[in-house]
Amino acid sequence: MRKHYYWLIAVLLLTAFAAWVSLPENQGIHIDTNSDGTNEFDLNVTQSLGLDLVGGLRVLLQAELPAGSFTVQDLQLTEPTVQIQGSDRILVELPGVSDPEVAVRTIQQTALLEFIDMSGLGAEASRLEGQQLLTDEQLRIYQARAAASGDAVETPPGSVNPLTGQPFHTVMTGAGLQAAAAQFQVQWFIEFELTPEGAAVFGPFTGEHLNQPLGIVLDGVLLSAPSIGARLDTGGIIEGSFTEEEAKQLALQLRSGALPIPLRVESAERVGATLGQESVTLSIRAGVIGVVIIFLFMLIYYRVPGIAAALALLVFILLNLAAFKLIPITLTLAGITGFLISIGTAVDGNILIFERIKEELRAEQSLDDALELGFQRAWQTIRDSNTSTIIICGILFLFGLTPGASVVSGFAVTLALGLIINLFTAVIVTRTFLYVLVAFLRQPLTQRAWLLGV
């Protein structure tokens, strides 16, 4: 019995954390900064909503480089509302955007971020801030554009490295970024994280060039040239004289446009929210009413086990809501539907367990044996049924990657996530609550079988 009390403590702690994450106004935890300007601990828990809930902008971007000069992997982005279409197009969805013209202008910019080698320049590097520089990455893109259009190849404008007379060497482009966010401490700056591939390049370079200037260039313009103070294996910051609007716009460019290739806007359309605020409120209210009805059914029909099921279902809901923020998952109407269906699956798992327990009690098994056998025999059914549905969700997700079918992916992701969490709550959480209730109510449960729904 002691192990069930340990599980109870673990479940309560996990539930408290999930409840905290699920709070609507919760923005996460951001603790101090390291010597290199990055946060010691950074946990973002904001919830992203899809176009069908808040409206926004949908933009189709076309790669400008000729076919064969880049791969599909070069188009990979980290934003959940960005999808690859075909081999040379990207569909970007911007929920909640209030000014479409500004959004299109922001996305249309190449947003080619480069970290360039300025070692050896010393104080002269900072004097070049704000100037147009020429890098070998810019030269490669310029030459590819010229070759695609049939124009004569010329050298693009920009200052070269005065020490070598050659373009500045690009150590890493924005493709090495995993995340970027605008932050404020005394002044606005951009905090970024690296991908494993980016870290493999950036870490060794910064480690070998300590106390040397590192140029941060956006679209050929030197933003800043800070001195490298430490080896940067996970990320760092981009400093400059940013206003709040400039910092947030740059962060958006780096998240949605940090690509090693230039893009142009093929088409753009403004998308209105298909559900108004009142409809969303009514949907949430309907969901709450449905959950309350389920609680009443479980309590009336299964009595004490129904209490355990109701508590486990609350844990299930909180864990899902927390996962939506932590992963994160952009919630759409289809995604919410998948979540609600997963609630029904969670209830179904508890019903299977309790019916098994009732069968064992009717076969005159002791209470402890009935509980053990009920969970043991129901587990196989729950595992197999959930696994088969998760496989179907995987197939739906793959179909949702095709153009115009992204709504299917949202449904598949939330449903599959709910099924996975249900494997934990239906067995571990329900078992823990039920065993604890039995420990406190053993005598009346032994004397009154109707309390167990028999």
H-helix segments, 150-243: 196-208
Q: Dihedral of CA 42/43/46/50: which sign? A: positive
Q: In sequence order, what are the beta bridge partners of 182?
A: 190
d(CA 380, CA 360): 16
Tokens coding 213: 């200037």
For residue 152, the tally of other CB atoms under 10 A from its CB is: 5
Instruction: Compute the distance between CA of residue 294 and CA of residue 291 in angstroms, rounded to an integer.
Output: 5
Among the listed residues 84, 100, 77, 47, the one whose alpha carbon sits nearest the alpha carbon of residue 332: 47
CA distance 134 to 123: 19
**How high is the pLDDT of residue 112?**
77
Structure tokens at 212: 């040397």
Candidates 303, 304, 343, 299; CA nearest to 320 is 343
95 prior amide bond cis, ω within 30: no
Q: What is the pLDDT of residue 169?
A: 95
DSSP conformation letters of 392-427:
HHHHHHHHHTSTT-HHHHHHHHHHHHHHHHHHHIII
> Checking phi first, is residue 396 left (phi over 0); if not, alpha (psi -120 to 50) or beta?
alpha
Query: Which of 194, 183, 176 is CA-nearest to residue 248?
Result: 183
Give the Cα separation of 184 and 257 in Å (integer). 22
Query: What does DSSP assign to residue 157?
Result: S
**Which domains can be identified in the chain, with CATH numbers?**
2-25+275-452 (1.20.1640.10), 56-271 (3.30.1360.200)
Cα–Cα distances (Å) from 53 to 50, 58, 330, in that order, read 6, 14, 10
Q: What CA–CA distance (Å, rounded) separates 294 from 297? A: 5
- What is the structure's pLDDT at 80? 44
Q: Which of 92, 355, 117, 343 is nearest to 217 (CA)?
A: 117
Nearest residue to 316 via CA among 288, 339, 338: 339
Q: Distance between CA 117 and CA 167 in Å, rounded?
A: 10
Tens-digit pLDDT string for the chain (454 aa): 688 899 999 999 999 999 999 988 777 776 655 554 445 566 777 787 777 777 777 777 676 655 555 555 555 444 445 666 666 776 777 676 656 565 555 555 555 788 999 999 988 998 998 899 999 988 887 887 677 666 665 677 888 999 988 999 999 988 888 888 888 888 888 888 898 989 999 999 999 999 999 998 888 889 888 888 888 888 888 777 778 877 877 777 666 545 555 566 777 777 666 665 666 677 778 888 888 999 999 999 999 999 999 999 999 999 999 999 988 888 888 888 899 899 988 999 999 999 999 999 999 899 999 999 999 999 999 999 999 999 999 998 888 766 556 678 889 999 999 999 999 998 899 999 999 999 999 989 888 888 887 7
Would you give the DSSP letter of residue 223? E
Instruction: Tally Cβ neighbours within 10 Å of residue 61.
Output: 25
Q: Residue with structure tokens 């793959």?
A: 398
- Strands of 263-271's sheet in order across: 82-85, 89-95, 56-63, 263-271
